Structure 1
């Protein structure tokens, strides 16, 4: 499992892009408000899976169960859309952000996770084939 796979790189580049647009006061309506929320769950999930794969499973692939992703989206929703707006004026509760967190779960499940598993299976098949042909 690679940390900087194409999906994770896209999440990071999107986050940097949005941060730069905010620093330079460039307003891109929906993109500026929701892109980071959409990619929050997939980025955190990938990073967590990578760390667990390296530390606990000796570089073997680890993929969070779907229920963990749903719990992550739920916790983010409660924390950033309910609790933080009550604590700090910097935060505003927005139900569309909640939808974005759960949409991020869908993106991870149907695109990123499938890509990780496909890469894992193809590399295992390749290694198995190489091992067989080198004997």
Structure 2
């Protein structure tokens, strides 16, 4: 019998990430000063685990199997997609976007965190 709500640690991390994301967006909205890494890289680090968790829930819903986990290739593909779109393509299309190798690193680290958290029992 499978757990009705598996991956509690991952889900806790994602909920905390979402709260941090909202706080960072609020700080930006109210023009509160803070370290550059918070405004430039933190949300990129948090994005992949949040989006991959939503994707994992989609797979669970489609397959009706909560034991499924995303493999490394799938997570790497998600990191590559975000890196290409947000760090290469969009900066060429609009001045509001900037390509930054550190954002790619943050996407990769976020993907690694997601991979580890979903594999934990």
Aligned to 2:118: 113
Deviation at 1:31, TM superposition (A): 1.5
Q: Aligned residue for 1:87?
A: 93
TM-score, reference length from structure 1? 0.77
Matches of residues 48-127 of structure 1 in structure 2 within 5 Å?
A: 48-54=55-61, 56-110=62-116, 112-115=117-120, 118=121
Single out whichever of 4-13 and 69-78 deviates more from structure 2.
4-13
Displacement after TM superposition at 1:28 (Å)? 2.1
Of structures 1 and 2, the larger Rg is shown by: 1
> Within the alignment, does 1:46 sit opposite 2:53 as a pair?
yes
Q: Give per-residue Cα distances to partners, 1:71-96, cap 9 Å, x unaligned.
A: 11111111001110110111011110
Cα RMSD of the aligned pairs, angstroms, is: 1.8
* Alignment size in residue pairs: 114
Task: Measure the CA separation in 1 of the matches of 2:47 and 2:95.
Answer: 21
Structure 1 gap ranges (5+): 119-135
Task: Tell me the distance in 2 between the aligned counterparts of 1:114 and 1:52.
Answer: 16
Deviations 1:39-95 (CA, angstroms, capped at 9, x unpaired): 1111111111012202x2225232111111111111111100111011011101111
What are structure 2's unaligned runs of at least 5 residues?
A: none
